[in-house]
Structures are given as structure tokens and as C-alpha cells.
Amino acid sequence: MSRMAIRYTPEDCARLLEAVRTRQPLIQCLTNAVVTNFTANVLLAVGAAPAMVDIPGEAAEFAPVASGVLVNLGTPAASQRTAMLEAAGAARAAGTPWVLDPVAVGALSVRTAAAQELAGMGPAIIRGNASEILALAGSGAGGRGVDATDSPAAAAGAARQLAGDTGAAVAVSGARDLVFGPGGLRTCLGIDNGDVLLTRVTGGGCALGAVMAAFSAVTSDAVLAAAAATGTYTVAAERAARLASGPGSFAPAFLDELASVTPADIAASLRLAALDPDGLEQAPQPEAAR
């Protein structure tokens, strides 16, 4: 039987940003080679501390020490896959929240098998674009490389299934970001902030997974962590886009805005809505802003 959905507000998300800034969580990142530097800088800007500990042996040692863990399958070399499994297992045993980002799953067999195994190891949040979520749930073949070919609304059913099967909150990135609650929760949140320039910077989506890990470190509510991280990230993107002339100037402006955006800014600017999870696939979607 479905349980009553919990109500979330922009003020809840603002308070979580304040908690991240106050507690400065230490986030272990096992992420892809393309985005390592950007991801570390994003974590520093939002108020967290990055630790790129991703080799076998050390990964398992560090996960219980970390406040949160990111596992990102962007460039899954054999040694890193081993380290990811070690880190996920150690994090689960220690009660350290961790985030799975199943980059480009579906068409590519090695990362798809790794993502399926990791999804069963207790992530707090699974974050991906719509095509990745469909593929991980067994309902699609993946997108075009790392790019989605499906809309978040089209992935709603797969996201609900994945949340139910894994117990994770499932965050689907797109023009309207969606966050689905785990288990029997009927929670579905829509976030309508952001800017298309965020898709023109390498690591824009991957670094969001790290921010979700940081927000997961300061709350036991994975849905709130995913929504607050996405809200902070996309409000900062909107602010940066107003200052930028293109992707080259957007990237440093985005880091600056992540560092300067305040909880009051989030409370005032975040466009957060509770949605009917059963009606998403038929509902009209907003114009693509990202």
C-alpha cells in the first residue's frame, strides 16, 4: 500500500544548503577521468570537501571515514570498478550514504553490468538522465553516449520501479528535473530551474551527483537531499547564465555562483513542485531550459 507523500518546500532545501556550509562534509569521489577537476571544484564551491580516493584497497578504507560517497561510471576501468564495489560495500556497512551515477548505461555492456550490480548495494540516491534511468531499470537501451534521447517524463515509470526495487531516491535530470521517493512513497518532485548552458560544460551532470552526496551527508532524507542539491545547483546555473556570454565564461561563473548563492536565494528562487507520479507521462512538459 502506498504511503502518504511527504511535503517538501524551498525553505527545506535552503536549510539543507546551510547545513552543508556549516558541516563541510567530506565526499569521496570515484568518478570519471573527464570530470575529476570540475567535480572537486564544484564540491569546494558548494561548501564540501572532495577526496578523490578511487583505487582498490584504499577505496574501502576511506568510505567509512567519508561523510558521503559518489560512484560515477563515466570511465569504468577495471581497477576503478573494483574500487567502486569495495567503496559501495564499505559505505553500506558503515552507514555512509552514497550516490550512484550510471553514466551511459544501456548500450555499453561493461558499465551496464557494473551499474546493475551497484544498484543492488544500497545507494541512497541514483542520479541519471532519462535514458540512463530507463536503461538501468531494464526499460530502455540507453541514450546517445552520455546524452539522453528520452524526456524525464518518459522515464517516470522506470524511475518509480527503480526506486521501489532498490530503496533509493531516484533523480532524473532534464529540462524539468524529477525526484522520486523510494519504496512505497508516492513522492515525486519537479524542479524547474536551470539553464541550457549547464549542458554545454563537461561534467555538469556528473558533478551534480557529487553535490547530492554532499547533501545526503547532512540528512537521512534522500529525497530532500536530491531535491536540495538539484535546486542549489540549478539556481546557481540560472544566476551564472545571466553573467555569461557562452560556455567558456559560464563555467567559472557557475563556480562563483555556487559559492555565493545563499539559503535565502534558494528559498526565494527555487521552483519546486509536488507532482502526480501517475500523470507525468501524459502531462505537458515545460520548454527545455537545460
> Residues 13-30: what's their mean pLDDT?
98
pLDDT of residue 49: 98
Q: What is the mean pLDDT of the chain?
A: 90
Residue type (1 letter), 80: Q
Residue 131 marked as a ligand binder: no
Residue 164 marked as a ligand binder: no
Residue 84 marked as a ligand binder: no
DSSP 107: T
Residue with cell 567503496: 87
Helix, strand, or coil (residue 146): coil
> Residues 137-155: what's their mean pLDDT?
64
What does the alpha-carbon distance between residue 220 and residue 33 come to, in Å, rounded to a whole number? 30
Residue 106 cell numbers, joined: 544501456
Q: What is the pLDDT of residues 71-104, one digit of tens each?
A: 999 999 999 999 999 999 999 999 999 999 999 8
Q: What is the pLDDT of residues 228-251, one digit of tens each?
A: 999 999 999 999 999 999 999 999
Q: Which helix (DSSP H) or strand (DSSP E) does residue 178 occupy?
A: strand 177-180
Q: Is CATH 3.40.1190.20 the classification given to domain 10-274?
A: yes
Angle among Cα 252, 43, 174 to the nearest 5 degrees reads 75
Residue 74 marked as a ligand binder: no
> Residues 108-131: what's their mean pLDDT?
94
**Domain ranges, ordered by start, for the chain:** 10-274
What does the alpha-carbon distance between residue 199 and residue 212 come to, in Å, rounded to a whole number? 18
What does the alpha-carbon distance between residue 130 and residue 136 come to, in Å, rounded to a whole number? 10
pLDDT of residue 5: 55
| pLDDT category of residue 143 using cuts at 50, 70 and 90 | very low
pLDDT of residue 149: 59
> Residues 195-221: what's their mean pLDDT?
96
Backbone angles phi, psi at 187, to 5 degrees: -65, 130
Residue with cell 502531462: 283
pTM for the predicted model, two decimal places = 0.92
What does the alpha-carbon distance between residue 60 and residue 89 come to, in Å, rounded to a whole number? 8
